[in-house]
Structure 1
Amino acid sequence: MRTVYLNGDYLPEDEAKVSIFDRGFLMADGVYEVTSVLDGKLLDFDGHAVRLQRSLDELDIRHPSSKEDLLEVHRELVRLNDITDGMIYLQITRGNPGDRDFAYPAPDTAPTVVLFTQSKPGLADSPAARQGIKVISIPDQRWGRRDIKTVQLLYPSMGKMMAKAAGCDDAWMVEDDVVTEGTSNNAYIVKGNTIITRQLGHEILQGITRAAVLRFAREAQMKVEERPFTIAEALAADEAFVTSATTFVMPVVEMDGQPVGTGKPGPVAARLREIYLDESRKAAI
């Protein structure tokens, strides 16, 4: 049985309880992060910690602990659950005010802090990375502050189910005729020697893996263009791929039933995945 972390305590998962009045449950009033573990070490922890702080600040939720304390909790959960490859999910909500109200509770209301592990043996050796994934396009009907990593994930879940119903792996969301992002990842196309991905803003999440991959691409002398692109551009591209904390760099080989490029994973995505995994493992803590 897993050991989880709840508000300062390490507990068996079946003993961890959260109040029915918690605002994360009632209002989706909370934020989260997912940090990957490879070879028992944490990838990009500093990036996730910085983004967590930003999300909390944007929602005026009190940060319950220091980055150093959070790091210790992550490491202890890896140790207690004997995680070699997998991930750690962290969620912080505005807490339990004792009753339901749309107004925020008093500022001294204690946030609820939950962390748990998921073991994923062979996480970096995914068959999907060799085969590529298939995606569909759907309207982006999420709220306007997608740059905040909130627990409001119902529409992305619906998008995943739309993709599954279509016999595909994921969905790319479209707003004003251009792609925003995938349901749980940032989206890219490759045309010629140029990697194209949407620029940061309120419309997309500031992906930690995105930032690292773009940095590595530029260091490898690859051309990067941050701008919106359309589904038509994706279908005319040489390659497409997505990035996220748990899929790293994942090639996209089909869009809306049509092949992207050759219909097989391309060399740019393969190279970026190799670089990302190599460099991230070196920097893991």
Structure 2
Amino acid sequence: MNERAAKASDAGEPGVELRAPVGRIRCDPGWSFVSDPAKHDNYRIWLIWAGEGELVTPGGEHIALLPGVTCVMRPDGIYRAQHNPANPLGVTFLNYAYGAGDAPLPPVWCWTPDFLFLDAVTRKVVQLHAAELAGLAANGRRSAMLLRAVLDELQGAALQLQPGDVPSSRLDRDVIELANKVLEMPAEHDDISELAGAVFRSRSHFTRTFRRIYGVSPASFVKSTKLLKARNLLQTTSMSIGEICSILGYSTTQYFSRQYKSYFATTPGEDRRRAQHNTQTNEEETI
């Protein structure tokens, strides 16, 4: 780290600034992408969570876009992308610029083993950005700090990447597709034996492969995904706790509450009241 970056880090500066557009989409079948070379200081991150496609860099490198791959595009030329219309890409996209101090600039592409973390953080960045655009809160600094965490994670993942870590086998790709189905609809994909059967493997073989790719067991992945989705519903909707339990496949509200408190160290009711209080405070500060 150079002297300027050290000063920025000591001051708690993220060193990056989030820019529009920011979002999370499942691309239309006819989608394609060509970057705008006129944006000389604009960087963009793509987190791929579904589908299959290809990105071509200004230098002519062809990068396979598969779930679990993250791309960081620089303002160094024209990037082009396309996808399989029969299996459209799902992408979380963040645009940003570097500000005061230095922040990590990860490789153009990286395989991200801790996908659940990156997916949760980038979803939060998208939510904060939307709230700021709606005039509900000034979330710029908070979004920038989360964006910095994403860049730090990608930089660390790139440094630790081993030659055999990139998913090259059909089984790996099938497991990644299943994991993304869990992320989208956890209540419908929470039976580990059924998940293993979907890729024609035994439960133990599937679990070993899943743990190698994601660093956690499929059971832990399902549990975390359900609880993170439950927390998002509690904080962003008026649905009752019972309705949330039903949607996410919990047998009873008591069981859900125990799981929730064990994971987040707070009850669902306390979490909702805290979120409502924070929303009210932000609205009052904006008026």
Fold agreement, TM-score > 0.5: no
Q: Which has the higher strand share?
A: 1
Using structure 2 for the length normalisation, give the TM-score.
0.24
Q: Which has the higher helix share?
A: 2
Using structure 1 for the length normalisation, give the TM-score.
0.24
